[in-house]
Amino acid sequence: MTGSVKEPIDLYFDKADNRLVAIDYTDTRHLFSDWKKTEDGHVYPAHVAGYRFQDKAKRTLQDKQWYQTDILELTPLTELPPELKK
């Protein structure tokens, strides 16, 4: 896949463990938390919450949460499906 995004994406990492903790894109911020580990030792955020900016220039968020996603069960693939292989 090729292409580009219209606006830059700001990525925020936790300095202690190098985990992605937030993404700012256009008028939204997406926060990652509740880190869990698969049996193979892969770490993933089980909780994502999204907020819209009240003022993007000042980086202030609206009080009301825009969306929430929770991963309740994760089953890693043993291999990529053929249609996804190059």
Q: What is the pLDDT of residues 22-49, one digit of tens each?
A: 999 999 999 999 999 998 898 999 999 9
pLDDT class for 59, splitting at 50, 70, 90? Answer: confident
pTM: 0.79
pLDDT at residue 78, rounded to an integer: 86
Distances (CA, A) of 48 to 31, 64, 81, 84: 5, 15, 26, 25
3-state secondary structure of 84: helix
pLDDT at residue 13 is higher than 90 = yes
pLDDT at residue 15, rounded to an integer: 94
